[in-house]
Amino acid sequence: MTKIFRLTTGILLLLLVSCQNRPGTAEALAEADSLYAIGRESLENYPAIRSILYFQRAIDALPDDTASVRRKTALFNDMGRLLIRLRLYQDAINKYLLAHICATETNDSLSMIESFKGMGDAYQMMNNAFEAMLCLDKAEQMAASLKADKALASIALHKALISVRWGKFEQADKQLPRSPFPVSEADKGMYHYVMWHLFNSVRHNQDSLNYHYSQLTAYRQTDYLGRVIYWKLQQAISQHDFRKADQLLAERKLTGRELERDAEYEASGAVAAVYQALHAEREKADLLIKNQRIRFYAVMGILSSILFIAIFLILLYRSRSERMRVERNNALLEKYNESLRADLEAERAKATMPQPDADSMSIAIRESDIYQRLLKTEKPMNDTEAAEAMALVDRLYPNFNKRLLTFGVVKEHEVRMCYLVKMGFKTSRMAVLLSRSGSAISNGRARLYKKVFGKEGNGEDWDKVIQSL
């Protein structure tokens, strides 16, 4: 500290000597004000080092009077803040020392408080918490003597920041004054950073945690968001949550925040660990997907084989059933042929007996009372009428019912339809008597023909068979 004090004293002496040959006070003040304005404008559009150069030129242009010393105090404090932003912490401490010397000459207590706060910030960025706390304690003593509430709140916030950076969250919570307390615009980024950590580690309020994190993203000129992202990155890596760590790395790139110098090497190792873990996880996921595909294709192959075998068995069963049906129909036809041969032999034996011809039997059916009633009625045939019609046909054709049974015609509506065909009724009249549609009558006759003979035929083919009986 003694060397630094001597250095700053020498710099001040040189500045005082160089100011003797300068122009008048008014012109010097005007030049210094213009240089200070250019520096402030450069701060918004150019790197901070350019503003520092303009501020230094403004200091060199100031004359040796009390007003100029006050302006030098403000300039040195501004230069200290810019040097902290450039991470030139020792140079920032030197500027704050010069600001403190100037403030002591003019007895400017608020500027001295500002210089002590600035030195505390520089020391805490250098991870020297002891010196930082000493500077902040001095600033706090002076602010308490002046009863400057805003300054006291700002100093308490700076102390809480140091505690947070060293992991003493409960101590930081105690150091802050009771809410609400005044927070300057320059300290808002720091305030949200500290409160985010407190709600995350001590107060456990998720809504407030999210609020302060969202507020941090709005302060583009602070590095506190970068610190939060790095803290969350370390936590995600320690919990082996590599997906979250990957998202945080992407978020860090999007925000453009740089990590602190003491964390850069750790961060680079963390990045490598994250991507290595993600690569292994992706390989494991790809292998799992590949195994799932293999199992899927194997299951599909087995199901396809089962389906193919089932279709084959169904077709084989249908083919066998069709063959058995044809064999059964052939057997029925054989029985029918035998019955016809037997009937033929019986008729040969009765050849000497006179037989009524077909025309006389057809005339007898048409002249019968039951035929006339069935021809004229518009109602379905009842059981009594059906019995009379069947009795008439059986009397004229004694073997008709027996031959129907030989054909396998046993269903009641099929038997009645065959008797009506034998009596000579047309399809439309049969549809009325049997209470069915004309197409149903035609299809039923064609179906009987296919059932008996095993081949396709129509209703007229079946009628010829019936008339031949």
The DSSP-derived string for 399-442 is THHHHHHHHT--SHHHHHHHHHHHHT--HHHHHHHHT--HHHHH
pLDDT higher than 80, residue 299: yes
- Note the pLDDT of residue 346: 66
What is the four-CA torsion angle of 101, 105, 109, 110, rounded to 10 degrees?
Answer: -70
For 345-354, how does the pLDDT look when each residue is reduced to its tens digit (9 = 90+)? 766 655 444 4
Domain-embedded: residue 24: yes
Strand, helix or coil at 157? helix
**Residue 255 pLDDT grade (very low, low, confident, very high; cuts 50, 70, 90):** low
Domain-embedded: residue 122: yes
Instruction: List, in order, residues 6 or more apart from 90 with CB less than 8 Å away.
Output: 122, 126
- Note the pLDDT of residue 260: 47
- Note the pLDDT of residue 23: 46
For range 248-263, the mean pLDDT? 56
Domain-embedded: residue 339: no
**Residue 309 pLDDT grade (very low, low, confident, very high; cuts 50, 70, 90):** very high
For 139-167, how does the pLDDT look when each residue is reduced to its tens digit (9 = 90+)? 888 888 888 888 888 888 888 888 887 88
For range 183-188, the mean pLDDT? 78
| Average pLDDT of the residues of the chain | 76
- Note the pLDDT of residue 226: 72
Q: How many CB atoms lie within 10 A of CB 217?
A: 14
Angle between helix axes 89-106 and 2-18 (nearest 10 degrees) is 70
What total number of domains does the chain contain?
2
Continuous segment of H or E residues that includes residue 253: helix 242-255
For 58-96, how does the pLDDT look when each residue is reduced to its tens digit (9 = 90+)? 676 666 666 677 777 777 777 777 777 777 888 888 888
What's the CATH number where 44 sits? Answer: 1.25.40.10
57 vs 116, which has greater pLDDT? 116
Q: Which residue segment(s) compose the domain that 391 sits in? A: 358-468
Query: From CA 451, how far away is CA 328, in angstroms rounded?
Result: 10
- Note the pLDDT of residue 438: 86
Question: Do 432 and 445 contact (CB within 8 A), yes or no?
Answer: no
Domain-embedded: residue 39: yes
Q: Burial, 440: exposed, middle or buried (Cβ in 10 Å; 0-12, 13-18, 19+)? A: middle
Instruction: List, in order, residues 6 or more apart from 345 with CB less than 8 Å away.
Output: none
Domain-embedded: residue 242: no
DSSP label at residue 355: -
For 169-181, how does the pLDDT look when each residue is reduced to its tens digit (9 = 90+)? 888 888 888 777 7
Domain-embedded: residue 41: yes
Provide the token pair at 458. 């129509």
Q: Burial, 143: exposed, middle or buried (Cβ in 10 Å; 0-12, 13-18, 19+)? A: buried
pLDDT higher than 60, residue 356: no
Domain-embedded: residue 381: yes
Domain boundary among 146, 162, 185: 146
Query: From CA 68, how far away is CA 36, in angstroms rounded?
Result: 13
For range 322-327, the mean pLDDT? 86
For 396-438, how does the pLDDT look when each residue is reduced to its tens digit (9 = 90+)? 888 888 888 888 777 888 888 888 888 888 888 888 888 888 8
Query: From CA 98, how far away is CA 92, in angstroms rounded?
Result: 10
Query: From CA 54, how far away is CA 63, in angstroms rounded?
Result: 16
Q: How many CB atoms lie within 10 A of CB 107?
A: 8
Q: Is the pTM of this model over 0.75?
A: no
Share of the chain above pLDDT 70, in %: 75
**Residue 311 pLDDT grade (very low, low, confident, very high; cuts 50, 70, 90):** very high
Strand, helix or coil at 221? coil
Provide the token pair at 32. 């210094």
- Phi, psi angles (nearest 5°) of residue 352: -75, -20
- Note the pLDDT of residue 40: 57
- Note the pLDDT of residue 42: 55
For 92-117, how does the pLDDT look when each residue is reduced to its tens digit (9 = 90+)? 888 888 888 888 887 888 888 888 88
Domain boundary among 88, 118, 146: 146
- Note the pLDDT of residue 122: 83
pLDDT higher than 50, residue 262: no
Closest CA to 120 of 169, 79, 155: 155
Domain boundary among 146, 176, 193: 146
